[in-house]
A and B are shown apart, each in its own frame.
Chain A
Amino acid sequence: MSKIKIALGQLLVEGGEPERNFDRALKLISEAKNNGSDLIILPECMDFGWTHPSSLTEAKFIPGEFSDILCNEAKKNEIFICAGLSEKNPEGGQNFNTALLIDSKGKILSKYRKINVLKQASDFYGIGQKLEVVDTHFGKIGMNICSDNYKDSIDIGIVLCRMGAQLILSPSSWTVDHSITEEEDPYKLKWVNQFISLSKIFDIPIVSTTSVGYIVGGPYEGKKMVGCSIATDKNGLITQGDYNEFASDIKYINVELKDNKLRGTDIGPKIYEEGFLNWKI
């Protein structure tokens, strides 16, 4: 069992403005380090913003210019970084919506390409073909991205847990209609239900950081991101980011990564018990 302090870096992402977004991200990384964090998780497509049209032509390879910035910061601050980037396809096809896990020496430990890509985003991102968990000195860490955690794609999270993940990190960019205000609960149970269910069955923390900001291009115009990032463990919600659409914010959690005793065919009955397979979409 090992303990880890995680910073949820709820970043303000301006569509099509990678330089400005990285400037803010670096401040959050440094703040996280100064607060004793071992790892910071930043949102999905934090470079250009999710589905921003400029990413179609300006996305970078990974490793490449943008991932190098994060690797250097990880090394400089001696902190693990998990972040979402738009990835230029080295094979020349569609870009990918990619999450990276970088260790505190600046080495990319894992690169995950999103699988459950939204239909409206399918012109922007190809489908990932690999799921993995990686060993770190904290334990085994798996990543997925945003809508990979939809009710009807909970199998992605389940597979990570089946592979022995002791912590799931999920860079996200949860969107809501522009008309939503602070009066309302922006997501209700849209995300937290699945997170808590997985956390309970597998006794693992799941941490998702979403971006904040106003969508200014692409198929999701008319929507915005309002934060409220979440982290759960088997007891429920550990923390929630602030509701906000105009400023970055950071929250800290301390979690324990436990040995995952559920293995192989032991897992099936537990999944039935939780009723995942009966979930209506």
Chain B
Amino acid sequence: MNNTTRFFKLNKDGVCNFCEAHDSLEKQFPISGNEKKIAEEIIKKGKNKKYDCVLGLSGGRDSTYLVSVAKRLGLRPLLVHFNDGFGNPTAGENIKNIIKKTNFELRTITSDWRESRDIKISCMKASVPDMQIGMDLGIATALYSTAAKENINYILGGVSFRTEGVVPLDWNYLDGRYLKSIMKNHGTVRLKKWKPYDPGFNFDVKEFFYYSFIKKIKYIPLLYHLDYQRPKAEEIIKEEFNWKYPGAHYFDDLFQSLNFYILRKKFKIDYRRFNYSALVRANQYTRDEALKKVEKIYEVEDEKIIDLCVKRLGLTQKEINHFLNEKPKSFLDYDSNYKFIKLIKYPIKILCKLGFLPPSLYLKFFT
């Protein structure tokens, strides 16, 4: 990863910051059965409520497995799905099957296509790699606003640092102020204003404080506490929910085809590098295996689906080629909360420890 991110560092012992982050998370989240204790706390706090937690569901492997875990632990989640117009129908079928098998309730939060399309195109015009910022912020606002509306205090996240790793900041930077800056410079649609229960794509410091401290919502990365191994998880969810593989990791979202294509061609970014690095660190892959895999173009870059994405956005291949030829930029070229976040290192650390922010966030910014 060293030649693909400016946020790569080696310490005096020759250990890189991503390995340090992984080791730190391993210490903080050992595999020790702690998930049962967490579930007890969630159940206790949600005793007289209809639901005791919100669980983000895409229909992909990780979030589907999280549903299985939540069920096993006796939780009563309200499942929340965010739809931005690029859902993979296979993932949709999975969601349908999960609902039928669990009887858990689902809330689908749908973006306004005029906004979500404009965000994606604006990011391309801005020449930044963060073309999924709309999707990521949309998921965050869908989860938090639903939890706030239903008076739920916990959000369960289906990410595992053992399989996913920590994404370099300049590969994926998530910040509401940054999105506003991109839209101000390149957008053609004015994004709707924030409302607590209808937040649209607004998730900045103010909104975060509202959900975290007024509505007292915490984020729990439940899979961090488990020995999460994808092949085993897949067996379980196939058996339990008749789950079907959408074709690649991240491919619960069809836009990833175009995203991966542009990231590779223009930014020399390949998400598998930090994914597979994590799997190597977690002894789930060998380094040789991982290196061999990344030699080939990732199957998510399906030509037909790339065409579908281009067409769906109302673009042409010529316009995509134009974006590809523009000089690459990053979040550092736009207004964002980056400098502010760098100033509040210790409050961020505490917020991560207290569960108000994802634990990897501190490590992403400060290791």
Residue contact B314 to A178, C-beta cutoff 8 Å:
no
Residue contact B108 to A182, C-beta cutoff 8 Å:
yes
* Residue of B whose beta carbon sits closest to that of A244: B96
Interface centre among B89, B107, B110, by most A CB within 10 Å?
A: B110
Residue contact A12 to B92, C-beta cutoff 8 Å:
yes
- Give chain A's interface residues, CB within 8 Å of chain B: 12, 14-17, 20, 24, 54, 178-183, 214-217, 221-222, 224, 242, 244-249
Residue contact B110 to A245, C-beta cutoff 8 Å:
yes
Interface centre among A15, A216, A244, A247, by most B CB within 10 Å?
A: A247
Contacts A214-B113, A224-B110, A246-B87 aside, 7 further interface pairs with beta carbons under 8 A come to: A15-B312, A178-B111, A179-B112, A180-B110, A181-B108, A214-B85, A246-B89
Residue contact A222 to B114, C-beta cutoff 8 Å:
yes
Closest CB in chain B relative to A211 CB, distance in Å: 13
Closest CB in chain B relative to A166 CB, distance in Å: 33
Q: Which 4 A-B pairs have the closest CB atoms?
A: A246-B92, A247-B92, A247-B96, A178-B110
Which residues from B are CB-within-8-Å of A54? Answer: 311
Residue contact A24 to B108, C-beta cutoff 8 Å:
no
Residue contact B107 to A183, C-beta cutoff 8 Å:
yes
* Residue of A whose beta carbon sits closest to that of B94: A247
**Complex alpha-carbon distance, A217 and B113, angstroms:** 8
**Complex alpha-carbon distance, A49 and B2, angstroms:** 46
Please encode chain B, from 56 to 97, with 1 for each CB lying within 8 Å of some chain A CB and 0 for all others: 000100000000000000000000010101010101110110
Closest CB in chain B relative to A59 CB, distance in Å: 16
**Complex alpha-carbon distance, A182 and B150, angstroms:** 14
* Residue of A whose beta carbon sits closest to that of B88: A246
Residue contact B312 to A182, C-beta cutoff 8 Å:
no
Q: Is B352 an interface residue (CB 8 A)?
A: no
Q: Is B106 an interface residue (CB 8 A)?
A: yes
Residue contact A214 to B92, C-beta cutoff 8 Å:
no
Residue contact B95 to A246, C-beta cutoff 8 Å:
yes
Please encode chain B, from 86 to 129, with 1 for each CB lying within 8 Å of some chain A CB and 0 for all others: 01010111011000000001111111111001000000000000
Which residues from A are CB-within-8-Å of B117? Answer: 216
13 A-B contact pairs sorted by A residue (CB < 8 Å): A15-B312, A20-B308, A181-B107, A181-B109, A214-B87, A221-B114, A246-B59, A246-B92, A246-B96, A247-B89, A247-B95, A248-B89, A248-B93
Closest CB in chain A relative to B54 CB, distance in Å: 13
* Residue of A whose beta carbon sits closest to that of B93: A247
Interface centre among A180, A215, A222, by most B CB within 10 Å?
A: A222
* B contacts with A: majority SS: mixed
Closest CB in chain A relative to B113 CB, distance in Å: 5
Residue contact A14 to B113, C-beta cutoff 8 Å:
no
Residue contact B110 to A214, C-beta cutoff 8 Å:
yes
Residue contact B83 to A214, C-beta cutoff 8 Å:
yes
Q: Is B198 an interface residue (CB 8 A)?
A: yes
**Complex alpha-carbon distance, A224 and B84, angstroms:** 11
Residue contact B113 to A222, C-beta cutoff 8 Å:
yes
| A16 and B311 contact, Cβ closer than 8 Å, known pairs A24-B89, A249-B96 | yes
Which residues from A are CB-within-8-Å of B95? Answer: 246-247
* Residue of B whose beta carbon sits closest to that of A222: B112
**Complex alpha-carbon distance, A178 and B192, angstroms:** 13
Residue contact A246 to B108, C-beta cutoff 8 Å:
yes
**Complex alpha-carbon distance, A54 and B312, angstroms:** 10
Partner of B108, one of A16, A245, A248: A245
Which residues from B are CB-within-8-Å of A248? Answer: 89, 93
Interface centre among B83, B89, B95, B114, by most A CB within 10 Å?
A: B89
Which residues from B are CB-within-8-Å of A217? Answer: 312, 314
Residue contact B308 to A17, C-beta cutoff 8 Å:
yes
Closest CB in chain B relative to A260 CB, distance in Å: 38
Interface centre among A16, A17, A246, by most B CB within 10 Å?
A: A246
Residue contact A216 to B89, C-beta cutoff 8 Å:
no
**Complex alpha-carbon distance, A245 and B314, angstroms:** 22
Closest CB in chain B relative to A281 CB, distance in Å: 28
**Complex alpha-carbon distance, A222 and B89, angstroms:** 20
Partner of B83, one of A14, A24, A242, A245: A245
Which residues from B are CB-within-8-Å of A178? Answer: 110-113
Residue contact B105 to A182, C-beta cutoff 8 Å:
yes
* Residue of A whose beta carbon sits closest to that of B59: A246
* Residue of A whose beta carbon sits closest to that of B96: A247
CB within 8 Å of A: which B163-190 residues: none
Partner of A16, one of B89, B92, B93, B312: B312
Interface centre among A12, A14, A180, A249, by most B CB within 10 Å?
A: A14
* Residue of B whose beta carbon sits closest to that of A24: B89
Closest CB in chain A relative to B223 CB, distance in Å: 23
Which residues from A are CB-within-8-Å of B106? Answer: 182
* Residue of B whose beta carbon sits closest to that of A12: B89
Residue contact B113 to A182, C-beta cutoff 8 Å:
no
Which residues from B are CB-within-8-Å of A16? Answer: 311-312
* Residue of B whose beta carbon sits closest to that of A220: B113
**Complex alpha-carbon distance, A261 and B277, angstroms:** 75
Which residues from A are CB-within-8-Å of B308? Answer: 17, 20
